[in-house]
């Protein structure tokens, strides 16, 4: 992409997403994640209404009466964006391409984090770790992130969510809030990596998809291409049986993803490329607030 065109796109996304994060998400983001970065302070005797999950069982056993851990909210959070840059993100038939929606969602979260005085970092992943941007603060850092979101060219085409989660868990030692932004087109099992990452960090999943991916249109003989593996296949979309089987495949894959996230206790927002992502993020933030 030419420099002038890139700068124009960076400026457009900055104006749009900074305005959203300042005017809409300012309070919602803080209330949704302010209690997630907590530092252990002391223990005290259990009082009615305390969360039983905060009981310190070692101290309780020593004194033979319940004690709970007291936490203090840390002044700042570290926020990590795990952004899927596999080839399937380039698909776009209804609304904007998935990669454009992912970039806007990520940029909005980044501006929300900066306005809350949080550090923001990013990992681009395909079926390999494409790029790691360590967490920092500041407008210059944010603009660098946005530029990379728009113009980054991955080396690989596949998807490996487990690899990205494992890398993040190893790279970021301090507990952080992590947004996993992907279309979740991944044939690998990532449940174990998801569970481990969510125990160590505060993990949130955001799925971006195109509605055209959910069902085949009745347009006769069409050629379908797997953008990540490069294989092609001719399909007779005029056949109701073919369309039903495709819809069943999509629903089955979606249910597996939802089940995996539920079992790992990871919050999810699903956003179609022709949706208003503001509504989805607001709903997510309110649910966590």
Domain ranges of the chain: 3-31+75-288, 38-73
Contact 179, 149 (CB under 8 A): no
Q: Which 8-state DSSP code applies to residue 89?
A: G
Question: 226-249: buried (b, 16+ CB within 10 Å) or exposed (e) per residue?
Answer: eebeeeeeeeebeeeeebeebeee
For range 2-20, the mean pLDDT: 73
User: Which range in 23-37, 157-171, 271-285 is most confidently predicted, on average pLDDT?
Assistant: 157-171
- Secondary structure of 51-78 as H, E, C letters: CHHHECHHHHHHHCCCEEEEEEECCCCE
Residue-wise pLDDT for 209-239, tens only, equals: 998 888 887 777 877 766 666 667 787 777 8
State residue 3's pLDDT score. Answer: 64
CATH class of segment(s) 3-31+75-288: alpha beta
> Does position 286 have pLDDT exceeding 70, yes or no?
yes
pLDDT above 70 (res 42): yes
Residue 241, pLDDT score: 86
- When pLDDT is cut at 50, 70 and 90, the band that residue 205 belongs to is very high
The per-residue pLDDT for 6 is: 66
Residues ≥6 apart with Cβ < 8 Å to 265: 198
Q: Which of these ranges, 25-34, 105-114, 167-176, 195-204, has the smallest mean pLDDT?
A: 25-34
What is the predicted pLDDT for the residue at 166?
96
């Amino acid at each position: 992409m030419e420099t002038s065109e890139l700068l124009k796109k960076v400026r457009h996304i900055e104006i749009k997403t900074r305005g959203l994060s300042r005017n809409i998400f300012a309070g919602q983001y803080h209330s949704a994640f302010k209690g997630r970065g907590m530092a252990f302070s002391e223990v005290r005797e259990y009082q009615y209404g305390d969360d039983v999950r905060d009981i310190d069982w070692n101290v309780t056993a020593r004194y033979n009466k319940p004690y709970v851990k007291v936490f203090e909210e840390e002044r700042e959070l570290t926020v990590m964006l795990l952004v899927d840059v596999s080839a399937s993100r380039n698909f776009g038939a209804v609304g904007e391409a998935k990669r454009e929606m992912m970039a806007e969602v990520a940029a909005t979260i980044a501006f929300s984090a900066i306005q809350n005085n949080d550090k923001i970092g990013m990992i681009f992943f395909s079926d390999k770790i494409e790029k790691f941007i360590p967490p920092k603060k500041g407008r210059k850092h944010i603009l660098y992130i946005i530029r990379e979101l728009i113009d980054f060219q991955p080396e690989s085409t596949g998807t490996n969510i487990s690899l990205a989660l494992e890398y993040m868990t190893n790279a970021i030692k301090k507990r952080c809030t992590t947004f996993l932004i992907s279309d979740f087109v991944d044939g690998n099992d990532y449940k174990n990596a998801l569970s481990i990452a969510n125990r160590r960090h505060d993990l949130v999943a955001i799925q971006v998809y195109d509605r055209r991916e959910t069902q085949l249109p009745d347009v006769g003989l069409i050629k379908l291409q797997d953008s990540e593996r490069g294989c092609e296949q001719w399909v007779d979309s005029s056949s109701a049986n073919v369309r039903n089987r495709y819809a069943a495949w999509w629903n089955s894959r979606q249910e597996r993803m939802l089940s995996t996230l539920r079992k790992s206790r990871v919050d999810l927002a699903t956003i179609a490329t022709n949706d208003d992502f503001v509504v989805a993020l607001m709903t997510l933030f309110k649910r966590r607030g």
